[in-house]
Amino acid sequence: MCGIVAYTGANSALPVLISGLKRLEYRGYDSAGVSLLDDDGIVTVKTAGKVSDLEKELADLSEDIRLTSATCGIAHTRWATHGTPCTANAHPHSGCKGRFAIVHNGIIENYLALRQALEDQGHHFRSDTDSEVVAHLLEQAAGLDPNADSAALVKTILPKLQGSYALAILDRDSAGRVFCVCHDSPLVVAADGSMAASDLPALICAGVNEVVYLPDDQLVGLGRPLTGFTIKRIDTDLTEAEHSGFPDFMLKEIYEQPAVAKYAMRNDFSNLDLNTRDIRRVYVVACGTSYHAGLIGRDLIEKWAQLPVDARVASEFRYGNPYMDEHTLVIALTQSGETADTLEAAKLARSRGAKVLALTNVLGSRITQVADIVVNIQASLEIAVAATKSYVAQVIVLTKLALYLACARGLLTPAHLTNIEAQMALLPDQIQSLLDQRQTIEQVACQCLNAHTVLYIGRGVGATTCLEGALKLKEISYVHAEAFYAGEIKHGPIALIDPIGVTDKVKATPVIAVACAQATYDKMISNIEEVQARGAKVIAIASEGDEHIAELTPHVIYIPHTSECLMPVLAAIPMQLIARYIAVEHGQNVDQPRNLAKSVTVE
């Protein structure tokens, strides 16, 4: 949540900061700002809106030579938590005297009390943010100890802050330095001490290839090489952060899925210290799309490994009182490895003696520091806010895990395993064949254009796929969408179907029905007939060769034949393409949907 970039070095800081911010914009994009430090002090420019708006603002000020000559600065792109997205609330923030400028990610939970105390002492606040207290606290500390250097001042105020923070701080009295520190919110620092950022892409685009994932509560000052930390080489390819000819990252990432599927299925759990015979209960904890992948994992582990499995939304799990002991395996599923609720759920699990297995896409992320065992889902950098390829990778990795647990517990015959693995090996080509049908899929998706609501129905893994399909549509098109277990629609949701569809097929409520070859196929057909009888316009996702479905509805998307357990991977592809198509047709920015952010590092 929110993006931080800091730079100090021989070059003009502004271009480095701005190009870094652009790489981090997926983390938040409702306001942006930059502060530059030179011998004359700090100059700050900020604005509501995106980084491109900040660039316009800077272009208007291009005569200010300090903006281009300064070689030290901090920058921020924001996802508002406290206070509306306006210029005053944009970062960087300063105190009353302008000695310090700070950018902050996270939440200062006790900011109200701190602010009150500071205001009582005469400090004047200019924003509604929690972050501004940091700048005033620094100023207060400097007033109390005029001889203290910048690092000492930062260290003085940190114990006063409750909550989570990643901070980059400029001090007018420390030319050429940027002070960085974090607590429960990530910061990655270039090993040569030239840069820091809240995520790798900002560093990669500046050519940094050796980094330190800054441990909690360790203050570093940019401007000197880092010593005493574990240095990691980055092998992420810069092209991963480019559009590469696609109109948006989401489409690019959708098209990467054949390769992602190939990598994900290479995961092997046999080398991990899972103690499979010891496991008596499994939880899958996650948020958002990862939670939906977790639901599929739950069903497969339960079915094949015959273990009680519960999938829980991490924000509920962490505040519930879930039963856990040393025989419990908690699978923490998080693409970013940074989601605050999933991290806290994992910490809770460990404190109760459970073993935590993290499945993540970001090695070095915070979940990798919390978990006992880490598995890389290998989906490569995902930039679009709406998760696509990471979902497919998660589902495949969970399927492999379920197979592994079942085999280790002696519950799967070699023939069964061979059969599923053979079908799995076909997935990359099958995903590609669906991508090749994009135009056809988009023609079918036209049926949902301008709908007030789109309903999704399915059974078993088909229902879980619907949950993810509806989430994708909501996230990026802002069209109301809701997924239901098809067997449940007659217990309430069917009332949503407007009878107008009986007479007016154009205005009929669209219902996307997953009716692939499944044990419950016949029941699904009955459910389709039920909604059609009430006037719904059914868009069916069915298995290739299903002629019966074409008699029920003209709007059919066919997916290649696969085993029921792998169907969610293939059915996800048309769901993603439908959501993106509707969002684009409605004129939305699919990569940066309103109000959302890619990494939710606050509760």
Please, are residues 544 and 550 in contact by the beta-carbon 8 Å criterion?
no
Report how far residue 429's alpha carbon sits from residue 541's, in angstroms, rounded to the nearest whole number: 18
Nearest distance in Å: CB 169, ligand G6P: 27
Please, are residues 83 and 30 in contact by the beta-carbon 8 Å criterion?
no
| 509 contacts ligand G6P (rule: CB under 6 A) | no
Nearest distance in Å: CB 385, ligand G6P: 5
User: What are the DSSP calls for 67-129, one per residue?
Assistant: HHH--EEEEEEE--SSS-SSTTTSSPEE-SSSSEEEEEEEEETTHHHHHHHHHHTT----SS-
| 105 contacts ligand G6P (rule: CB under 6 A) | no
Is 97 part of the annotated catalytic residue set? no
| 365 contacts ligand G6P (rule: CB under 6 A) | no
Please, are residues 44 and 95 in contact by the beta-carbon 8 Å criterion?
no
Report how far residue 305's alpha carbon sits from residue 411's, in angstroms, rounded to the nearest whole number: 6
Residue tagged active-site, from 50, 252, 400, 598: 598
Residue 177 identity: R
Going by C-alpha positions, the residue among 269, 304, 297 that lies closest to residue 283 is 297
DSSP state of 304: I
Within residues 288-317, the interface with ligand G6P by CB under 6 A covers 288-290
Crossing angle of helices 389-408/414-436, nearest 10°?
170
Q: Which is nearer to ligand G6P, 346 or 420 (CB)?
A: 346
| 520 contacts ligand G6P (rule: CB under 6 A) | no
Number of residues lying near ligand G6P (CB under 6 A): 16
Please, are residues 532 and 515 in contact by the beta-carbon 8 Å criterion?
no
Going by C-alpha positions, the residue among 269, 246, 242, 581 that lies closest to residue 380 is 242
Distances (CA, A) of 506 to 391, 478, 500, 533: 33, 20, 9, 16
Report how far residue 191's alpha carbon sits from residue 147's, in angstroms, rounded to the nearest whole number: 29
| 334 contacts ligand G6P (rule: CB under 6 A) | yes
> What's the count of helices (H) and strands (E) in the chain, helices before strands?
21, 23
Q: Which is nearer to ligand G6P, 26 or 179 (CB)?
A: 26
Nearest distance in Å: CB 291, ligand G6P: 7
Q: Which is nearer to ligand G6P, 33 or 288 (CB)?
A: 288
Going by C-alpha positions, the residue among 25, 24, 52, 21 that lies closest to residue 34 is 21
CB burial class (10 A; 0-12, 13-18, 19+) of residue 548?
exposed
Within residues 230-289, the interface with ligand G6P by CB under 6 A covers 287-289
Nearest distance in Å: CB 16, ligand G6P: 27
Residue tagged active-site, from 2, 448, 466, 516: 2
Q: Which is nearer to ligand G6P, 171 or 341 (CB)?
A: 341
Nearest distance in Å: CB 176, ligand G6P: 35
| 339 contacts ligand G6P (rule: CB under 6 A) | yes
Nearest distance in Å: CB 292, ligand G6P: 8
Our measurement of the distance from residue 238's CA atom to the centroid of its chain's CA atoms, rounded to an integer in Å, reads: 19
Q: Which is nearer to ligand G6P, 105 or 336 (CB)?
A: 336
Within residues 580-599, the interface with ligand G6P by CB under 6 A covers 596, 598-599
Q: Which is nearer to ligand G6P, 359 or 516 (CB)?
A: 359
| 336 contacts ligand G6P (rule: CB under 6 A) | yes
Report how far residue 165's alpha carbon sits from residue 131's, in angstroms, rounded to the nearest whole number: 9
Nearest distance in Å: CB 390, ligand G6P: 7
Q: Which is nearer to ligand G6P, 335 or 576 (CB)?
A: 335
Which tokens is 558 given? 């066919």
Nearest distance in Å: CB 250, ligand G6P: 11
Could you tell me where the DSSP H helices lie in 301-413?
A: 314-317, 340-351, 366-370, 389-408
Q: Which is nearer to ligand G6P, 208 or 367 (CB)?
A: 367
Report how far residue 564's alpha carbon sits from residue 552's, in angstroms, rounded to the nearest whole number: 22
Report how far residue 296's alpha carbon sits from residue 462's, in angstroms, rounded to the nearest whole number: 10
Q: Which is nearer to ligand G6P, 374 or 513 (CB)?
A: 374
Nearest distance in Å: CB 314, ligand G6P: 8
Radius of gyration of the chain (CA): 26
Nearest distance in Å: CB 288, ligand G6P: 3
Is 2 part of the annotated catalytic residue set? yes
Question: Residues 6 or more apart from 269 whose CB is under 8 A from it?
Answer: 375, 400, 401, 404, 405
How do 328-334 and 232-233 pair as beta strands? unpaired
- Which of 342, 430, 543, 553 forms a contact with ligand G6P (CB under 6 A)? 342
Q: Which position's Cβ is nearest ligand G6P?
A: 288
Q: Which is nearer to ligand G6P, 34 or 107 (CB)?
A: 107
Nearest distance in Å: CB 95, ligand G6P: 33
- Which of 481, 600, 601, 602 forms a contact with ligand G6P (CB under 6 A)? 600
Contacts with ligand G6P, 377-416, as mask; x by CB under 6 A: --------xxx-----------------------------
Q: Which is nearer to ligand G6P, 189 or 362 (CB)?
A: 362
Q: Stretches 217-225, 253-261, 336-344, 371-379: which one binds ligand G6P (CB under 6 A)?
A: 336-344
| 335 contacts ligand G6P (rule: CB under 6 A) | yes
Please, are residues 301 and 405 in contact by the beta-carbon 8 Å criterion?
yes
Distances (CA, A) of 223 to 7, 92, 158, 178, 554: 9, 20, 21, 7, 65
What count of Cα atoms within 13 Å lies in the side-chain half-sphere of residue 177?
A: 16
| 438 contacts ligand G6P (rule: CB under 6 A) | no
Catalytic site positions: 2, 598
- Residues of this chain that interact with ligand G6P (CB under 6 A) are 287-290, 334-336, 339, 342, 385-387, 596, 598-600
